[in-house]
Each structure stands twice: as C-alpha cells, then as structure tokens.
Amino acid sequence: MTSATAADYGWIRSSSSLFAYGLEVGYTLTLVRGVSPSELFRIVGAEPRGVCQGLSEFIEAQQEFLDEYEEWPEAFLAGAFTVPGEGADWTLALEFGGDLGTRPRLMEALSAGTRAVSHSSNGGKPMDFFHWYEEGQLRTTFEWPANRTGSTPDELNGVMMEVGLNPSGDEHPAVDRKAAVLALAERLTGVRVTEGLLAEAEYQVGEVLEEPTEEWQSITIDVTDAHGERTHVQLRRDQL
C-alpha cells in the first residue's frame, strides 16, 4: 500500500489543472483492477467512439458530443486507459457528467472477482461520493466521511485518518477533502493519479447510455399533524 496523503493531490486545485474542469462540471473517476478498457466497455455496454490523444482532446470530444444535442443527451462519453497499480494493471475510466462509477449494477459487475474504486462530484452543488467494491460487493461508501455505509463501513477508518479524512467528524480546515479522497483511492489501488498522467494518456472512448428511469405507478402521502393525527393515502397514476 502506498503512503499517499491529501498533500500529494494539492495540484487538483490549480487553476491551470485540467482536473479543475471536472470539479466545475462534474466528473466520475473509476479504477478497476485486471480489466482492460475494451472489457470495461463491454461490461457496461458502451459503444466505442474512437481514441483521444490526451485529456484536452477528450474534453473537446465531450463538448462536441454535447453539441450534437439540443437537450441534455441520454448518454455520455467515458474515456479509459490502462495504468499500472497494485497487483496488476488497472483501467482508469473518466467521465464528465456521467455516472458509470456510481451505478451499483455496473460497479458490482466490474468488480466481480476483483476490486473497483470510484470517486465523483456533480459539479457546482456539489455532492461528492466515494465507493469501494470488492468481489462484486460494496464494502465502503460515503459522501461525508463520518456517514459511511456498505458491508464493511469501518474497515478503512485507519487509512482514512492517515490520508487526512476524519471518519468520526469534521476534518481539519487545512485538509482538502477531495484531495484526501484521491489519496484514499491511491491507497486502495496503488495508482498515483497525476496531472501529467491524465493530460498525456491515450483515451479509448465509449458512449454509455444513461440508466433508464423506472416509470412510477403511484405516490404515497403520509402526513402527521400537530395533534398526532395521521393521514396516509396512496394514489395511483390514473387517480391523479
């Protein structure tokens, strides 16, 4: 396991960093051990869209893809490349505005027989998530480090403290939580993500369909008033 801490990822806040684009518009970065980029795209059902030389070209392809639609498309681009890490080669998959690394069904499939780690931000709001999957099982996930879930929510507590995250409360104000999350991902994968790595990699690009939204069939109204009287009503679509 590496000794990475939040201090190793201070570069993500540089105004000249291409990663700043992801923090602004939203990103998901996923690392999967022993799965090639083409195999990752096969598992998630992505349609190949060629190759981009470097992150700048991938960002340009992302913008051109969005410009093809009058409204927000029901798909997104993911760029993936191979990088050495702990125990094997890993695939690093990066998306801007996508959610590949946050979908339980996909992450369970990608991590079957191996390990997958992802972290993300939805941009301006922001909401930031971390996920660690092992053998198809979600082991630890959190938005706020003190509010963890998963099958082993406390297993990373010691490592979290070492990288600068506080699993029992707020971090020190000098600690950049996002930088610390990148360090946590490195501790689990052995992959050091650098500005140069992202900038210079050859990205295999795939188009990933958005997850279909299940059509709702009914709504439930459950209200308790100040006197303790409860109103509970379920209405079907045809009743509204």
Quote the number of domains for the chain: 1
Instruction: Please list the residues that pair with 80 across neighbouring strands.
Output: 93, 204
Question: Mean pLDDT, 10 residues at a time, over the chain (240 residues)?
Answer: 92 87 93 98 96 97 88 89 97 94 96 98 86 98 95 97 92 88 98 96 95 55 58 57
- Where is 116: in which H helix or E strand? strand 115-121
Is residue 164 included in any domain, yes or no? yes
In a domain, 55, yes or no: yes
> Is 1 a domain residue?
no
Query: Per the domain annotation, does 163 fall within a domain?
Result: yes
Q: Residue for token digits 């946050």?
A: 102
Nearest to 25 by CA among 73, 76, 75, 97: 97
- Give the model's pLDDT for residue 125: 74
Residue 38 domain flag: yes
pLDDT at position 215, please?
46
Q: How many CA atoms lie within 13 A of 240 on its CB side?
A: 11
- Give the pLDDT of residue 230: 58
Containing structural domain, residue 64: 6-239
Q: Are 195 and 17 in contact (CB under 8 A)?
A: yes
Question: Is 17 a domain residue?
Answer: yes
